[in-house]
Structure 1
Amino acid sequence: MLKSRNFWGTVALTVSMALPVQAEELKVDSVVATVDGVEITLGHMLMVRAFLPEQYQQLPGDVLWDGILDQLIQQQVLSTDEMAKETPRVRIALDNERRSQLASVVLAELAEQPIPEDEIKAAYEAEYANGPQGKEFNASHILVETEEEAQAIVAELAAGADFATLAKEKSTGPSGPGGGALGWFGPGMMVPPFQEAVEKMEPGGVGGPVKTQFGWHVIKLNETRIKEAPSLDQVRAQIESTLRQQTVTKKIEDLVNAANVTRTKKEDVDTSILSNLDLLEN
């Protein structure tokens, strides 16, 4: 019995040793490596991961881990080499990066601030509810290759031929099988000659021939309507985006106006100097 208990104890120990150790729960400031006492943290790795080229963005962590950590370790040892010098390029790049990152924090904070519902409703009323939405047109057309063909179709229609029937028989456009119907469209949605002809027509009227880059058109304006305003829910995201952009713009303008800013006029300098990147090496 003693031997049996020892045997099963050995098996249990062996199995427990074979189980994977639970991965340590890391935080952004968790140290993942040290190089001569200098700590490399998970946060450093995350920043490298955030700026990887797009083709690497979808790779899982187990594929990226060693490569990112190796890169940081190699950069650290190189940065302490005697040949490493804080050149003007390095110093200026660090200045710009710090400035950019701090500005990004402010922009992110502004983007997360909720927009009051009354401002959203007011913007909706101003943009949609109280303003004209324009006219929409429902038209059909028959597309042919020559002006002579188009004129012949106009003559047939004047003699009482059915527009949809002629479109099915003679139109070379993709709408032909559907009787030439184009459905509803608004200003600017058709090529200019076609749009201009439609906008001059009365509902039920036939116009043409009209030439476009696609050929010759005979057009029938079926009906018109005033475009209905979208609901608030349909345009809420667009309105919120516009209001947030306005908030950011105003914040920047207010800060610039409050700051003591001096700037060199471009008229006083040779602006071609911006192409002389060799100055960064001096």
Structure 2
Amino acid sequence: MKQQLKSLSLTLKRKKISFADAAKKSSEDKGSGAEGGELGWAPASRYVPEFAKAVEAGKKGELIAEPVKSEFGYHVIEVVDTRPIKAPAFEEVKAQLTDQVRQEAMLKYAKEIRDKAKVEIK
């Protein structure tokens, strides 16, 4: 299997087939394979460690030299583009954070009440 992927990687590097066509033809992942290997934008941390490490080491427009093995099998990876991860401004998430803090406080309070309650069935 790994040898077949090395051969595929070499074919891709020589531009004898596009990455998308190779993924549609050879991928065992029915989801991304049907999409030409496209995973969309996501931080590398979203993926399993082996895959994430390879993606982080890759450069824009680069095909990762070696197939990467993970718990899901072997992967041939092409980094199409990169962009920095930018945290949203506080004002953009203030309402969400406020709601989250209120919800957590309410859950904590409800737990405290339950823990102190004495229920007797007669």
Q: Would you say same fold, with TM above 0.5?
A: yes
RMSD: 2.7
The partner residue of 1:218 within 76, 90, 103 is 76
Q: Distance in 2 between matches of 1:157 and 1:244?
A: 52
Residues 116-131 of structure 1: matches in 2 within 5 Å? none
Matches within 5 A, 1:5-84: none
- Match among 170, 182, 206 for residue 63 of structure 2: 206
Q: Which residue of 2 aligns with 1:263?
A: none
Match of 2:53 among 196, 209, 212: 196
TM superposition shift of 1:177: 1.0
Structure 2 counterparts to residues 87-126 of structure 1, below 5 A: none
Residue deviations 1:129-153, cap 9 Å, x none? xxxxxxxxxxxxxxxxx21221111
* Alpha carbons 2:44, 2:53 under 8 Å: kept: no
Distance 2:44 2:20 in 1: 24
Q: Which residue of 2 aligns with 1:123?
A: none
Once superposed, which parts of structure 1, at least 4 consecutive aligned residues long, lie more than 2 Å away? 227-234, 236-239, 241-245
Give the CA deviation at 1:189.
0.4
For normalisation by structure 1, the TM-score amounts to 0.33
Between structure 1 and structure 2, the one with the greater Rg is 1
Measure how far apart 1:244 and its partner are.
6.2
Which of 11, 22, 27 is residue 171 of structure 1 equivalent to?
A: 27
Alignment partner of 1:216: what SS?
strand
Q: Tell me which amino acid in the other structure corresponds to 1:157.
A: L
Equivalent-residue separation in structure 2 for 1:187 and 1:180 (angstroms): 16
CA distance in 1, matches of 2:28, 2:45: 23
Higher strand share: 1
Give the secondary structure class of the aligned counterpart of 1:202. Answer: coil
Query: For the residues of structure 1 that align with 2:44 and 2:95, how far apart are their CA atoms?
Result: 24
After TM superposition, give the deviation of residue 176 of structure 1 in Å. 0.6
8 A contact 2:13–2:63 mirrored in 1: no
Residues 117-174 of structure 1: CA distance to partner in whole angstroms, max 9, x if unpaired?
A: xxxxxxxxxxxxxxxxxxxxxxxxxxxxx21221111111122121111111111112
1:186 maps to 2:43? yes
Q: Unaligned regions of 5+ residues in structure 2, if any?
A: 104-122
Structure 1: gaps of 5 or more residues: 1-145, 246-282
2:93 and 2:73 map into 1 onto residues whose CA distance is: 37
* 1:156 is the counterpart of 2:14: no
Code of the aligned partner of 2:49: P
Q: Is the 8 A contact 2:44 2:55 kept in 1?
A: no
Whichever residue aligns with residue 164 of structure 1, its letter is: A
Contact 2:32 2:38 in 1 (8 A): yes
